Amino acid sequence: MSAAAGAVLRATGIVAGYGAAEQILKGTSLHVAPGEIVSIIGPNGAGKSTLLKTLAGLVPAREGEIHLGGRDLTRADALGRSRAGIGFVPQERNVFGAMTVSDNLEISGFQNPGEVGRRSEEMYARYPMLADKRKALARTLSGGQRQILAMAMGLMNAPSLLLLDEPTAGLSPKAADELFDAIVALNRGGLPILMVEQHALEALAISTRGYVLVSGRNSREGAGPALASDPDIRKLFLGG
Amino acid sequence: MTQLLQALLNGVMTGALIAVPAIGFSAIFAVLRYPNFAIAAYATIGAFAAWWANAQLGLPIVASLFVAFAVTGVVGVAAEETALKRLRGNGALIVAIASIALNLVLENIVRFIFGNEMRGYDLPIARDLRFGELRIGPQQLQSLLLSVIIMAAMFLFLRYTRFGKAMRAVADNPDLARLKGIDPARIAIVTIFLGAGLTGVGGVLIGLDTSIDPLTGYRVLLSVFAAAVLGGLGSIPGAVVGALMLGIAEELALLAVPATYRTAVGFVAILLMLTFRPRGILGERAA
């Protein structure tokens, strides 16, 4: 309770789904404290991605509350949550394919036009690949390069929390490792990160804490490395 | 050979005139994802607004184009906000049908205000320019030049301005745009103003070539729609390419068939494109 009180993000009793009758999330709760990486793991269909989309405002919450830094965002839409400081990097269609890398960065800083130049240069310094490809169309990038661009786009509005949905999906093991390194480096700068990952072991290994979601409900919660080494978790979800 | 070259030249001229409203149509489709057939009325309204500014107030044609752009842009936004916007949630087909009804209403308002007679702009009478055996009217040349300037301005706007890039972003992926802090509703209003405004300017350019009456826009609606489908619905460069191809095809067809069959070229173009390449020449997605 005390940890949740000082949290950057606090979501309580979230009920959400896509259709009128369909409930994917059935009272899910979580929090992210300052400086944390928090992973959400669970079997397919557990509602992990739906939870992130609900937090980002793309799926409306029918019940529950969402607070960011003490501010109630439950009724805010995706635009309002983005403006409040939630950066969300979707799993798919997360870049504007017909636009160049530099235009993708520029448009992602739409809220702060005066800061776009400086922030773009920061992204080029942080991810030199983007500087090399700045005139390339986003759709011509490799999967790993596209994820890096998507993450950089998520940072352009200087969010107070970054949500990553399956950032390593479809990447080679090498590209996935590089992306995990990039996530850790980003977090070391102080940015709290909440991510959903299929590569649960690797994700938990770099996470401060983790949540296990089953059928839209919280099943387990704990420190990332502890969850990763828990025999029940390994057996049930990770095939270990 | 001269006949063929003349047809090609006329085709480029015709295509350039169709391209401007086709850009407007495609821009609206790209962002709002429905075909707005009220652009026929927007073209007519633009033509009459410019006629009023030119023939009644004595403004030069270029200044009248700005009047047409502003008046039609405002009419487009007002029509969208009052009539079409509330229907968007019911799907593209419903909005498209409503836009046909809206077109009839607007067209008849123009008829009520200005009457049915044909009107012409206050233009100096000038001889055709001759290049060997080829002939070009000075007014056609001016319209071509204006079309090229308008197309270039639109291209620069979309490519280099913050708002133009936001329009492209919303057209590509509205959800992602929203996540980046772009308000699609605001972008939609700007797009409708621009799209309707460009269509109005297109109506003036078409009127400069001949004359205007309340059916000015309706007569080119099929060509504009065909150009947009040919190029790829929602693609601005596609609309230009489609318009030029259609203009040339129409003029070349006239070498073989009577002028009454001219409209059929548009139908045939739509049919062929939807059969063999539904996403159009430069379209990203299936139409």
Structure confidence by residue, pLDDT tens digits, A34-62: 999 999 998 888 899 999 999 999 999 99
ipTM of the complex: 0.85
* Contact with chain A for residue B176, Cβ under 8 A: yes
Q: Dump pLDDT digits (tens) for A162-174.
A: 999 999 888 888 8
Q: Is A88's CB within 8 Å of B177's CB?
A: no
Q: Which is it for strands A217-223 and B129-131: parallel, antiparallel or unpaired?
A: unpaired
Q: Is A111's CB within 8 Å of B181's CB?
A: yes
Q: How far apart are CA B202 and CA B147, in angstroms?
A: 8
Q: Is B181's CB within 8 Å of A79's CB?
A: yes
| Minimal CA separation from B187 to chain A, in Å | 12
Q: Which pLDDT belongs to residue B286?
A: 39
Instruction: Give A220's strand partners.
Output: A212
From the number of C-beta atoms within 10 Å of its C-beta (0-12, 13-18, 19+), residue B267 rates as exposed
Q: How far apart are CA A162 and CA A56, in angstroms?
A: 10
Instruction: Give A12's strand partners.
Output: A65
Q: Which pLDDT belongs to residue A87?
A: 94
* Contact with chain A for residue B179, Cβ under 8 A: yes
Residue from the list B175, B180, B183 with its beta carbon closest to the beta carbon of A108:
B180
| Minimal CA separation from A134 to chain B, in Å | 15
Q: Is B179's CB within 8 Å of A103's CB?
A: no
Chain A interface residues (partner B, CB cutoff 8 A): 56, 58, 77-79, 82-83, 87-88, 90, 93-99, 103, 106-108, 110-111, 113, 153, 156-157
Instruction: Spell out the domain ranges in chain A.
Output: 34-61+71-238
Contact A111, B162 (CB under 8 A): no
Q: Which pLDDT belongs to residue B274?
A: 80
Q: Which is it for strands B134-136 and B129-131: parallel, antiparallel or unpaired?
A: antiparallel
| Minimal CA separation from B180 to chain A, in Å | 5
Closest-CA residue of A relative to B182 is: A110
Question: pTM above 0.95?
Answer: no
Reported confidence tier of residue A4, pLDDT bands at 50, 70, 90: low
| Minimal CA separation from A28 to chain B, in Å | 23
Q: Is A58's CB within 8 Å of B162's CB?
A: no
Q: Closest by alpha carbon to B123, among B199, B204, B40, B16?
A: B204
Q: Which pLDDT belongs to residue A237?
A: 61
Q: Is A90's CB within 8 Å of B181's CB?
A: no
Does pLDDT of A224 surpass 50? yes
Q: Which pLDDT belongs to residue B275?
A: 84
Residues of chain B under the 70 pLDDT cut: 284-287
Closest-CA residue of A relative to B177 is: A108
Reported confidence tier of residue A3, pLDDT bands at 50, 70, 90: low
Instruction: Give A30's strand partners.
Output: A11
DSSP assigned state of A99: S
Closest-CA residue of A relative to B162 is: A107
Does pLDDT of A2 surpass 60? no
- Pinpoint the alpha helices (H) of chain A: 2-5, 48-56, 78-84, 101-108, 116-126, 128-132, 143-155, 173-188, 200-205, 224-229, 231-233
Q: Is B165's CB within 8 Å of A56's CB?
A: no
Q: Is A83's CB within 8 Å of B181's CB?
A: yes
Closest-CA residue of A relative to B284 is: A98
Reported confidence tier of residue A1, pLDDT bands at 50, 70, 90: very low
List chain B residues with CB under 8 Å of A98. 168, 172, 284
Q: Dump pLDDT digits (tens) for A145-156.
A: 999 999 999 999
List chain A residues with CB under 8 Å of B162. 106, 110, 113
Q: Which is it for strands A9-16 and A61-68: parallel, antiparallel or unpaired?
A: antiparallel
Q: Dump pLDDT digits (tens) for A177-208.
A: 888 999 999 999 999 999 998 888 889 989 99
Q: Dump pLDDT digits (tens) for A100-120.
A: 999 999 999 998 889 999 999
* Contact with chain A for residue B166, Cβ under 8 A: yes
Q: Is A99's CB within 8 Å of B162's CB?
A: no
Residue B8 identity: L
Please give the radius of gyration of chain B, using alpha carbons only, rounded to the nearest integer: 18
Q: Is A58's CB within 8 Å of B175's CB?
A: yes
Q: Which pLDDT belongs to residue A5?
A: 65
List chain B residues with CB under 8 Å of A58. 175, 179
Task: Measure the N-to-C terminal CA separation of chain A; round to a whole number of Å.
Answer: 32
Please give the radius of gyration of chain A, using alpha carbons only, rounded to the nearest integer: 17
| Minimal CA separation from B73 to chain A, in Å | 25
Fold of the A34-61+71-238 domain: Rossmann fold (3.40.50)
Residues constituting chain A: 240
B51: its two tokens? 């006629």
Q: Is B162's CB within 8 Å of A96's CB?
A: no
Q: Which pLDDT belongs to residue A238?
A: 55
pLDDT top residue among A18 and A56: A56
Query: 3-class DSSP state for residue A216?
Result: coil
3-state secondary structure string, A35-81?
CCEEEEECCCCCCHHHHHHHHHCCCCEEEEEEEECCEECCCCCHHHH
Query: Rounded to an integer, what is the distance from CA B94 to the centroid of its chain?
Result: 22
Q: How far apart are CA A189 and CA B221, in angstroms?
A: 57
Q: Which pLDDT belongs to residue A209?
A: 95
Q: How far is CA A132 from CA A95, A135, A136, A141, A186, in A?
A: 17, 8, 9, 11, 20
Q: Closest by alpha carbon to B196, among B3, B10, B41?
A: B41
Q: Which pLDDT belongs to residue A239?
A: 57
Q: Is A107's CB within 8 Å of B173's CB?
A: no
Q: Tally A–B CB contacts below 8 A.
A: 61
Residue from the list B176, B181, B183 with its beta carbon closest to the beta carbon of A96:
B176
Percent share of chain A, pLDDT over 90: 64
